[in-house]
Amino acid sequence: MSVLPIVQWPDARLSEVCAPVGSADLGSLISDMFDTMYAAKGRGLAGPQVGAMLRLFVMDAGWKEGARTPLVMINPEIMPQGDALTIKEMCLSVPEIIVPVSRPESVIARWTDAGGNPKEARFEGAESRIIQHEFDHLEGKLHFDRVSQSTREALEAPYLKALA
């Protein structure tokens, strides 16, 4: 197990749609992704954020407040539910930039777990938000893609200037 480097925006990989996961052994990658997420103090981490262009992510919504509840979603599908709420989001691939993002308050998710078992559940609150954020990464989207162009430009400008 090891901590992987996190891909930082504007790396082009963060704008690519990820490939479905086949029958590959993902045990080491999943362990490394959890190690990386916890070391970075995150609550979710998607494959492309560590350079693995596959449709999988790891998450743990409550570990900062209590016991760890790790969850792996492979080849997830989500169905947004309920009214949209605007909440400020951060992203490990765009450090220190906080973006107000409007997302549905809950989702029904279908995925395969690390053991190859199909799963389905409804998620609300922080879990729903994390799932939607990480799912966006699998679709080649960042939280910047969920705001107006003027808001995006205002948030991006200082970040891009610091990279120059």
Which tens digits make up the pLDDT trace of 100-119? 999 999 999 999 999 999 99
Per residue in 28-86, pLDDT (tens digit) is 999 999 999 999 999 999 999 999 999 999 999 998 888 899 999 999 999 999 999 99
For position 120, what pLDDT does the model report?
Answer: 98
Per residue in 7-27, pLDDT (tens digit) is 999 999 999 999 999 977 899
CB 93 within 8 A of CB 9: yes
Annotated active-site positions, please?
Answer: 134
Greater model confidence, 163 or 90: 90
Rg (CA), the chain: 15
How far apart CA 128 and CA 134 sit, in angstroms, is 10
Over residues 138-154, mean pLDDT: 94
For position 39, what pLDDT does the model report?
Answer: 97
* Domain segments of the chain as ranges: 12-163
Cis peptide bond upstream of 20, omega within 30: no
Rounded to 5, what percent of the chain is helix, strand, coil? 35, 35, 35
- Does the pLDDT at position 129 exceed 80? yes
- Does the pLDDT at position 124 exceed 90? yes
For position 164, what pLDDT does the model report?
Answer: 77
- Does the pLDDT at position 1 exceed 80? no
The domain over range 12-163 is classified in CATH as 3.90.45.10: yes
